[in-house]
A and B are shown apart, each in its own frame.
Chain A
Amino acid sequence: MNLRVNTPFAAAVAIAAGLFMLASLFIPGLEEPRNRVLNWAVLLAALAMLLGLANLFTVHFDKVRNKQQPAYSAVLILAMLIAFGLTVWEGSQAQLPSWIFNNIQSPVEASLMAVLAISLTLAAARLLQNRNDLMSIVFVMALFILLVGSGPLFGIEIPFFTSVLGPYVSQFLSTGAMRGLLIGVALGTLLTGLRILIGADRPYGG
């Protein structure tokens, strides 16, 4: 049986859902149906996370079967199944799931962020040694000012940087540019959303 759901139907659903949501934001009296629809979206988002887990499992299971770094993928699958099973069975606040979260997930994730400090330092050093154009020079100078202005160096405070230059760069120069970037991002978000609402973009597989 060839089950086909035509593209216009999916686009119509997207447009209708989006327009309804937009209208409910401005038209009073639509709160109850809006919240009902939002609750459906909440449920679907949770199901989508489950789908993502299934996809991850499938990908790594294929790697184990095809012997492409099977040891690593096997460790991943085992860890995933144990964490999933224990948390669903006992609850996220139970002893074992909390132990897994606090002693495996948190330390590794925090350590990865800590290693980033060295990587970023190295990246800044390479920028200093390789690039000579205006943007690189301004970038490095601003970086120096902001780092020195964020606190004392080896316990020694440099008042001009921490009291004058650093706050000026962060509160005026950087903020003005950030405002421009935020306006640009908001315009881009607006246009992208409108393209989805008029059916010009169909990221949902239509």
Chain B
Amino acid sequence: MELNQELLSQIGLLAAAVLTLITLSYAIGDHPLFRLALYLFIGVAAGYAAAVAVQDIVLPQLVFPILNEVAGTPSLDLVELGVRSLLAVLLFAKLSPRTARLGNPVTAMLAGIGAALAIGGAVQGTLLPQIGAAAGTFDVASFELALQGGYYGEGIRIIFDGVVVLLATVSTLAYFHFGAASRGKQEPLRSIFIDALAWAGSVFIAIALAALFSGVLLAALGALIERLAFLREVALMFMGAP
């Protein structure tokens, strides 16, 4: 179904501009038009995402092979098709509370696979490399070069940077350490050393959170710039400006 491309484009720009203005007006306060735009967005986003998943995965991987099998032109191994169909049926059992328990093995399989992949990724991709990075904080090669060249100030700066980064890493981990030795009948207390590290960790965590906050703020600012630039273009277009 092909419609007039130009007309559709014009209507689309107008719709996008109106929706943008309505959504930006939330800065002043909540109102019914904003809620309407929000519900419209949720419906469209959910429908689109599910449709892409259905059209690109479910239909070619499950529905069409079943239809081909029924039509006598199998496109997939029968065992493989059977397993896929069974898994799909069990997962759809989750729709009804009475049969929801039938879908537990399927969700359990997904959970087990996800957990294994997360473990593998966390260990191989984050834990070991980050521990390696923390261990190699001190740029020893640069330090030697600085000493050889007589740049003692530079050498001290390299050492100081390394100490700061290592302290930031260790103290951040110490902040979340809540273990304490038992003191018999007295209340358990963290050691003074851990307490001091945790205090330093709170300072570094505040800095890290500020970095994250500034990142989100700048990203939002970039989105605002793009939206206002879009509104300007639409306004110029409808005003007939070049």
Contacts and interface: CB of A to CB of B under 8 A. Distances in A.
Interface in B169-218: 169-173, 176, 201-211, 213-214, 216-218
B57 A79 contact: no
Nearest to A18: B112
Contact of B41 (A4, A109, A182): A109
B159 interface: no
A30 interface: no
A110 B220 CA distance: 9
A27 B210 CA distance: 43
Contacts of A103: 11-13, 15-16, 19
B67 interface: no
B147 interface: no
Contacts of A83: 43-44, 46-48, 51
A88 to B, nearest CB: 5
A99 to B, nearest CB: 5
B235 interface: no
A108 B40 contact: yes
A104 B115 contact: no
A154 interface: no
A156 interface: no
Contact of B207 (A71, A114, A116, A138): A138
A88 B54 CA distance: 7
A125 interface: no
Contact of A120 (B5, B54, B169, B216): B216
Max count, chain A CB within 10 A of own CB: residue among B42, B58, B115, B120: B115
Which 9 pairs show the lowest CB-CB distances between chains A and B?
A: A176-B168, A180-B172, A79-B43, A83-B47, A87-B51, A111-B23, A18-B112, A142-B210, A17-B112
Interface of A: 3-5, 7, 9-11, 13-22, 25, 36-54, 56, 71-73, 75-88, 90-92, 95-97, 99-121, 124, 134-136, 138-143, 146-147, 150, 169-170, 172-187, 189-190, 192-194, 196-197, 202-206
